[in-house]
Structure 1
Amino acid sequence: RLMLISIILMLLSMLVLLFAVTSIWALSFIALLWGAALMLLIISMQAKVIMVDVTAQDMLMSMFSGIINLGIGAGALFGGYAVTHIS
């Protein structure tokens, strides 16, 4: 349920972001809302991962952390490539 709420909040903030670029205050508020929704999504995903196997929480959380960091690194890599070669 929290995952669905956070996904809806992220979707709404991304849609509103198109119209918020004219005001720094609106842009800041939308970015804050998007960040809070993303944090809520990650926390709810962590709770689901922990419930998979209570005895292996350390291993599951380290795998989850590694996957999140891999996603951040891949996003930075492809974003850097896009900025360098596309724009």
Structure 2
Amino acid sequence: TITGTLHCGSRISLALEVGSIVGKKGKSVKKMRKESGARINISEGNCPEWIITLAGPTNAIFKAYKFTAQYVAHWYYGARQ
């Protein structure tokens, strides 16, 4: 029997405006960190795509990934209207 918490990581590459994920003054990403329990890092720089790194317990990664997908869908569909 295996006990304990499995820690893992995930990287998401986005070629879109990541501002909706970060939020004003980092409000959205701070909320995602708090609610998911995952460590979330968003790359900064002049590259055309942003790298979002999620790390922590597996269930926290899944929660953070779900939040990220929701923000991307909101941005994508909102930008098309």
- Give the TM-score normalised by structure 1: 0.35
- Give the TM-score normalised by structure 2: 0.37
From the CA coordinates, give the structure whose radius of gyration is larger: 1
Higher relative contact order (CA 8 A, sep 6+): 2
